[in-house]
Chain A
Amino acid sequence: MNESHEEWLARLEKRSHDRQKAFIGGIANRLGHGPMTEAPLNPHRGAPDFWTALEWNTEEKVKRFTDNFLSVGGHVERLASFSDASAFIVDKAKEMDVKIVLRQDEPALNELELEKALPEAEIAVWNSDRDKAWKTEAAGADFGIVQADHAVAYTGSAVVLSSSGKGRSVSLLPTVLFILIPVGRLVTRLGEVLETFDQAGKENLPAGIHFISGPSRSSDIENDLTIGVHGPGIVYALLIG
């Protein structure tokens, strides 16, 4: 029983490899073919052609995104620039008497200069100090501020990708979430974003890819809609440009 964690993992790994052959061989057997080494011809990849042809112009995309996001209880603002976004967030922070703001570590968000505009609040930058318990920090934050990597008009979704400076918790644990979306990142269909992950390949995918389409919600009690059951209950999509 003095097996180390690594030895234990190695033992499981070996067992997994040993079993893989029988497990998957059994499937091939039942399907009535031998081991497959080459990819089967797949005539039906992705959405039908009539769908992939759909493309909206910028104003249509902004309108559809806005309608969708509002319809599920989210908030949307169209702003001209990042400094307008900063002013909007500062305004809300004062209105709600915010104590802790947590934001991703990104150049565009540095330029919001929230530290200057909100001297009385703590402005934390994700993973800026390696020793800090960042998940706990996020759970205590009033505002979380992120920039979307993509956004989808058809479903009203913002897409955030994780990295060392971009925590998954920042868009999840704070009470209020602000998602800054440069209008140039807004596409029409979900597939336009999904295809980029196929193109990137597994080596270039982040650990977490999250499509966020509004505030956390549940209808589990008597079909009565409740907002903010686990994730942020108040979500602002700030469309910039």
Chain B
Amino acid sequence: MSGGSKGGATVKARAEIALNDEFLRKAVRFTTERLRNGKKKASDEQGNWEQWRERGRAIRLHTIAHLDYYLNLFVDNARANGVHIHFAATAAEAVEISLDIARRCGARSVVKSKSMVSEELHLNQALEGIGVEAIESDLGEYIIQLAGEMPSHIVIPAIHKNRYQIAELLSREAGYELPPDTTALAGFVRKKLREKFLEADIGMTGCNFAIAETGSMVLFENEGNARMVSTIPRTQITLMGMERIIPSWSDLEVMATLLPRSATGQKLTMYMSGITGPRRSADADGPDEMHMIIVDNGRSLQLGDPEFQELLNCIRCGACLNACPVYRHIGGHSYGSTYSGPIGAVLTPSLNANVAEWDDIANASTLCGACYEACPVKIPLHDMLVYLRRRKVEDGHGSKLEGLGMGGFAAIMGSSRRLGGMLRLGKTGQRLLLRDGFIKSRLGPLKGWNAYRVTPALPKQSFRDRWPTLEQELRAGLQEMDASVSERLERRLQERTRKDSHGTDSADNSQLNRVRDKQWEGGGGHE
């Protein structure tokens, strides 16, 4: 399986490049801040946000737990509506099917609206390879396509470009100089792409949700390009991850409440379109022929995996990116894959089943849990990052020195007498290295740590020294832990440790837990 383009360097190296780019850093921070505040405002305004998240999670859990049933139902209904359904187990198969359709239609150009699956497949290069022009029509995607780059944010793909760079790119395309003015630049793209929409033989879209009971597909967007792509060309191809299903239109109300608010803070995107089959014979627009390619490409590896199955609940809103302190610092390109941020850090190795190759992106996280808090369907991403690190170590990809260090740490921390002795020893020994209250030396074991930071001097009075006093203060004045926090922690602890699940939980939770049990019984064998 293709591992995606990793750029041949580590997250650290790519992050250094990103950190050196002053504009990028500011732009990412500004954008994520704007989106995060928008989400907060929109979810506060909506009210009962926890209950909405819980319902969103329940619907996704239920659908994924019975994905075979709902996918079959969707496929049967979509076929009855006149859609040509194709199954692709791998990226290569999905590409092959797309190229077959493009050749058959004698296509010269394909206009595309945003599709993360298409990015997974690297489909544009494949189309160019058979002489078919592939045009991204989402404004941001169009810009980065001209620049020959990858999206750096799932919702705002050209977050890393300023308008001067964009004006330069578009001027080259126009053949005359465009001013670095947003309205003028967008105006040029509108005119240019209008021609492309009307000329194109094939329109290609992604799919936000697929409604099993009626065989319909749903697209959320603000620009109107997805509507163009699915209305004007004679042939439509929709790429759909096999887990995009929800049972009914009624369930769409929950997804439509969660997705736009979490992505951009909107009550609803400017357009939400439900497409049910190709044009009816009496209609004067809409595609004559509609194809849907249902893509696995590593998704089924997460099915039945107790630690990662919930990844399939993801609705691709990008809220975890905006919430993540690491993403906000280093930007999307540092992750080196189609999906960035916390979701990308977990999804990429899971889709590719190659933990070792992507080991560094699981470490590009502080495990602070902000991603879980932001997730509208409550995917425990920070837990998954820990599982990923554990698997990496279990697979023998941990650092030997780190293992040795951790062994020493355990030996010292395991005995309070030994720890006390070490601290006293350190207080004396550090005098050799101390400069202005900091240790900057990169000698011996301090090399890795101090390459990026300085170690503070050991304090005159250590935490352990102060503990007896602190303990008294705490016991006197300790407030009860916030009830909701402690309840959540308790609940999650129970969920994660419960082996016998045929108890009071919902059908889908117990289904998932049964899967977990089964997996444990079988020795946790994931591929």
Contact = CB atoms under 8 A, between A and B. Distances in A.
B285 interface: yes
B371 interface: no
Interface in B272-295: 272-280, 282-286, 294
Interface string B232-253: 1000000000100001111111
Nearest to A214: B270
A36 B69 contact: yes
B52 A48 contact: yes
Nearest to B231: A168
A191 to B, nearest CB: 4
A190 B268 contact: yes
B172 to A, nearest CB: 16
A206 B254 contact: no
Nearest to A34: B68
Nearest to B55: A48
B441 to A, nearest CB: 43
A16 B84 contact: yes
B86 interface: yes
A53 interface: no
Contacts of A209: 216, 273-276
Contact of A221 (B182, B193, B274): B182
A208 B515 contact: no
Contacts of B183: 226
Q: Which of B223, B225, B507 has its CB near the most chain A CB atoms (within 10 A)?
A: B223
Interface string B55-85: 1001100100111110110010100110011
Contacts of A94: none
B87 A16 contact: yes
Interface of A: 5, 8-9, 12-13, 15-16, 19-20, 23-28, 30-33, 35-36, 39-48, 50-51, 68, 72, 126-127, 134-136, 138-139, 154-157, 162-164, 167-169, 172, 189-191, 194-195, 197-198, 201-202, 205-224, 226, 228-232
26 contacts: A16-B85, A20-B85, A24-B71, A30-B300, A36-B66, A44-B55, A46-B253, A51-B48, A135-B198, A164-B284, A167-B283, A167-B284, A189-B253, A197-B216, A202-B77, A205-B214, A211-B272, A211-B273, A213-B269, A218-B140, A221-B158, A221-B163, A221-B166, A223-B31, A231-B270, A232-B224
Given A40-B507, A221-B186, 13 more contacts: A24-B72, A30-B304, A44-B59, A44-B62, A127-B283, A135-B285, A155-B256, A195-B249, A198-B248, A205-B216, A213-B269, A226-B186, A229-B225
